[in-house]
Structure 1
Amino acid sequence: MRKTTRKAWALAAGVTSVALLATACSGNAGGDDDETAGGDITLTVATFNEFGYTDEMFARYEEENPGVTIEQKRAATADEARENLNSRLAAGSGTSDIEAVEVDWLPELMQFPDYFEDLSSPDVEGRWLDWKVAQATTEDGKLVGYGTDIGPQGIAYRADLFEAAGLPADREAVAELFGGDSATWEQFFEVGKQYSEGSGGKAFFDSAGAIYQGIINQEEFPYETEDGTVTAVSDGRVKEIYEQVVQASVEDGLSAHYSQWSEDWTNSFQNDGFAVMLAPGWMLGVIEGNAAGVEGWDLADVFPGGAGNWGGSFLTVPSQGANVEEAKKLAAWLTAPEQQIEAFNNKGTFPSQIEAQESEDIQSATNAFFNDAPVGQILSNRSQGVVVPFKGPNYFTIQQAIGNALTEVDVNGADPAAQWETVVGVVEGLG
């Protein structure tokens, strides 16, 4: 029997250090051939947030592959999934047969490629965008993950709240309001001030951390260079972005002061907590779920600073698994264009597969919840001209430190300068 579970994995230590993987690496033992070859097997698939994989999809695979049962384990957040995977890799057992990995923490795992199966195969060559493949390929050519989605971003907004504040509400007019093809972050914040004034001081966007994420993802080398030099503090650009976001969020009062994925943030969708969100494709399903029954959401084909990509994930096959060959087959099937189109239709996860992106299914896709917005065309447009940031092994640690600092400032009212010094301490501690 197939089942989908949502499980919050609690770690005794609180935080799993990637260094733990290094100490365990010498004892890493790859999985043997499928232990139940010729018999019935259960394949576990660990995902997080919303991948768009449904019980119906898994049932179809099971029907086509007699003897295979699939169990999906879904973590509430990517951070939760990361901690779970790191702890089980370090322990040498307990991973799922397929583990979903988010691009921000993939570079950590790429330091330990022996933990994962090589997924290279002539059958999948040319399936994905070149830069998507490059993100999961080691220097010696090992492919450790099959791409699922990417995260081109538009601006999701509440048309009814815009209208009530005296702003344009039509999606084309909203795109022009933000600057159209010449949209800038300065103009984004200016529109926020207009909304705040017209609405009697209501919050414009949900979270300082989300806005920071949108800006930093447009930097080619946000925190470190390809030779491993950490520049997050030394070059001044990151601090400049941090201060810009703090100014808009706290001093100008444009933030609703939520931490994304918190209970308060989730509940705020039901009480008009804010008017705008930066929205990669995968976020559309999250918004629809949190805002169920709320009318007025729409999606504008515009993004400040040009194109921007937030997130995107991969399916990996840990070598410690008992059914690695069958897991590879399932991972290849799930990331085939047909299944990723279906996942997009389910939850808005924009496919990284070239054939899927070019398909009529994607190009003509609309989303009823977002006022029948042509989401396929919008996200296709938004994917053009994306600058793919370099994300080295320190990326996640630095990003998390800055995210924590912004949460303290935006949500808890902490001093911005003191929180920045905390970030500096984390960066300097990297050596």
Structure 2
Amino acid sequence: MRQQLQRAFFGAIALVTACSLSGCGGDEGAGGSGGTTSSGPVELTLSTFGEFGYEDLIKEYMAQHSNITIKHDKVGQGGPYHEALLTKLAGGSGAADVSALEEGHLSDVLSKPQLFNNLEQIGPKDVNKERWLDWKYDAAKAKDGTLIGYGTDIGPLAMCYRKDLLQAAGMPFEPEAVKPLFATWDSYFAAGDQYVAKTGKAWFDSDSQIFNAMQNQLKVGYIDKEDKLVIESNPDIKKNFDKVTAAGGRGQTAKLAAFSNEWNSGFKTGAFATKTCPGWMLGVIKEQSGPELSGKWAVTDAFPDGGGNWGGSYLTVPKQSKHPKEAAELAAWLTAPEQQIKAFKAKGTFPSQVKALEAGELLSATNPYFGGVKDGELFAKMARKVGPAQYKGPGDGQIQENAMSPALQAVEQGKSAAEGWQQAVDAAKRIAK
């Protein structure tokens, strides 16, 4: 379904681009930088998915702006939401004035900046790059310099693990003591060999989950900045593939597809001892593990080879907006540090703004389920360990989802690593055509 949607999306781009250049009969104020701020009544549409924590903020904004009415369209699941958004962008109508975009879908649109207003041009002049962590801001910049979105939340990675399982295996288990185990990917896999030898059980949930984290740490991913497929010419990709599949072959993987029913129950049953862990994963672990495992799960401010990010979104202003400047002002306000702290307190969305990461409300937050750890302070520290933004070219997300992950699962189910690698390469070539 996603491949069919994206083929339709990119197939319709030529028409949308032509319309943006020639006008196609529309007036200049209907979209783009031609719009001006209005003092009269303005209705803005805002579309989001999941939990952004904006319900009370929307009321607050309208109370401060008597001429603004905001209609909030909130969808529960990100998948259907993004399918609908890409369809609207491709069709040239229907997108909200302010449309949220998950970071995993950036690669679907970064090569088509003509569909979005450049927020550096139409946004409030006092909103600049310094508001955000560098890597968060840079990830939403197209090659032509267009800033397509203001950053909302992020998912900086730490490592979560079962203290009781490591202790039973005779391994270090306190948050400070385990850091050497998680210092590098080599030390992580070495610790996994030790755990498997002592217990006969899996160290991590799946090859795919580990590989994804390693892949996103690379300077160059599947697609380079010239939009060329480099899965075969970038040796680091094959090196990571070999490391992960070798560790899985030694018994370290539980072979559980992320977010499947078996994966969900695996948290409670001890199917794996460690988990790559963005801030939002703590809520998943608590929900799936249940109250009986409170205090047995822990999180430490260490992650192999530095840091990484999994998750987070942006607020964009599509060219379709009839009120682009007002939309940009709303997006800027919602992503200001003060509002992001309120959203964090409401729904736990971890902020990407520098001042928000220094706020006392964030740094003092604790998580009783994980032994009272100051999780706000911990993930603020991990957010600053994330490296420069990796360029996400056209098809990057599809390759991750529809080429590499199935290949890694095939290896877990019995294919040789060489066969799995060739499967991934062949699928990536089909996607990148």
The TM-score normalised by the length of structure 1 is: 0.84
Counting only pairs closer than 5 Å after superposition, residues 153-164 of structure 1 correspond to structure 2 as 153-164=157-168
Check whether the contact 1:58–1:70 (CA below 8 A) recurs between aligned residues.
Answer: no
Check whether the contact 1:156–1:277 (CA below 8 A) recurs between aligned residues.
Answer: yes
* Equivalent position of 2:409 in the other structure: 407
Check whether the contact 1:45–1:99 (CA below 8 A) recurs between aligned residues.
Answer: yes
Matching of residue 176 in structure 1 with residue 180 in structure 2 = yes
Matching of residue 124 in structure 1 with residue 127 in structure 2 = yes
| C-alpha displacement of 1:80 | 4.4
From the superposition, tell whether residues 259 and 124 of structure 1 become closer, same or farther in structure 2 (CA, over 3 Å). same
From the superposition, tell whether residues 113 and 41 of structure 1 become closer, same or farther in structure 2 (CA, over 3 Å). same
Alpha-carbon deviations, 1:254-295, whole Å to 9, x = none? Answer: 222122233332343343332211112233333334445342
Matching of residue 149 in structure 1 with residue 148 in structure 2 = no
Query: Which has more helix, going by share of residues?
Result: 2
**Counterpart Cα distance in 1 of 2:399 and 2:222:** 7
1:152 alignment partner, SS class: strand
- Runs (5+) with no aligned partner, structure 1: 1-9
**Counterpart Cα distance in 1 of 2:69 and 2:265:** 38
Amino acid at match of 1:153: L
**Counterpart Cα distance in 2 of 1:145 and 1:378:** 26
User: Which of 8, 13, 21 is the aligned partner of 1:22?
Assistant: 13
1:298 alignment partner, SS class: strand
**Counterpart Cα distance in 2 of 1:261 and 1:99:** 26
* Equivalent position of 1:226 in the other structure: 225
1:223 alignment partner, SS class: coil
* Equivalent position of 2:192 in the other structure: 192
* Equivalent position of 1:242 in the other structure: 241
**Counterpart Cα distance in 1 of 2:2 and 2:170:** 49
| C-alpha displacement of 1:153 | 1.4
**Counterpart Cα distance in 1 of 2:348 and 2:173:** 22
* Equivalent position of 1:108 in the other structure: 108
* Equivalent position of 1:99 in the other structure: 99
The TM-score normalised by the length of structure 2 is: 0.83
From the superposition, tell whether residues 27 and 286 of structure 1 become closer, same or farther in structure 2 (CA, over 3 Å). farther
Alpha-carbon deviations, 1:74-123, whole Å to 9, x = none? Answer: 3434x544333222211223333332223343143122222112222313
Counting only pairs closer than 5 Å after superposition, residues 24-63 of structure 1 correspond to structure 2 as 24-25=15-16, 26-27=18-19, 31=30, 38-39=40-41, 41=43, 43-48=45-50, 50-51=51-52, 53-63=53-63
Check whether the contact 1:21–1:86 (CA below 8 A) recurs between aligned residues.
Answer: no
| C-alpha displacement of 1:146 | 0.1
From the superposition, tell whether residues 14 and 390 of structure 1 become closer, same or farther in structure 2 (CA, over 3 Å). closer
2:152 alignment partner, SS class: strand
Amino acid at match of 1:23: A
From the superposition, tell whether residues 11 and 418 of structure 1 become closer, same or farther in structure 2 (CA, over 3 Å). closer
* Equivalent position of 1:4 in the other structure: none
1:220 alignment partner, SS class: coil
**Counterpart Cα distance in 1 of 2:224 and 2:365:** 38
Counting only pairs closer than 5 Å after superposition, residues 30-429 of structure 1 correspond to structure 2 as 31=30, 38-39=40-41, 41=43, 43-48=45-50, 50-51=51-52, 53-66=53-66, 68-77=69-78, 79-120=79-120, 121-125=124-128, 126-178=130-182, 183-198=183-198, 200-249=199-248, 251-293=249-291, 294-295=293-294, 296-388=296-388, 389-400=390-401, 401-410=403-412, 412-429=413-430
Amino acid at match of 2:108: E
Identity percentage of aligned residues: 36
From the superposition, tell whether residues 190 and 318 of structure 1 become closer, same or farther in structure 2 (CA, over 3 Å). same
1:96 alignment partner, SS class: coil
**Counterpart Cα distance in 2 of 1:330 and 1:278:** 34
**Counterpart Cα distance in 2 of 1:254 and 1:12:** 32
| C-alpha displacement of 1:176 | 3.5
From the superposition, tell whether residues 305 and 272 of structure 1 become closer, same or farther in structure 2 (CA, over 3 Å). same
1:265 alignment partner, SS class: helix
- Runs (5+) with no aligned partner, structure 2: 21-25
**Counterpart Cα distance in 1 of 2:261 and 2:423:** 26
| C-alpha displacement of 1:357 | 1.5
Check whether the contact 2:110–2:393 (CA below 8 A) recurs between aligned residues.
Answer: no
Check whether the contact 1:282–1:347 (CA below 8 A) recurs between aligned residues.
Answer: no
| C-alpha displacement of 1:316 | 0.8
| C-alpha displacement of 1:351 | 2.0
From the superposition, tell whether residues 346 and 276 of structure 1 become closer, same or farther in structure 2 (CA, over 3 Å). farther
Check whether the contact 1:154–1:379 (CA below 8 A) recurs between aligned residues.
Answer: yes
From the superposition, tell whether residues 380 and 39 of structure 1 become closer, same or farther in structure 2 (CA, over 3 Å). closer
Count of residues paired in the alignment: 412
* Equivalent position of 1:3 in the other structure: none
1:173 alignment partner, SS class: coil
The alignment's C-alpha RMSD in Å is 3.1
Amino acid at match of 1:274: F
* Equivalent position of 1:7 in the other structure: none
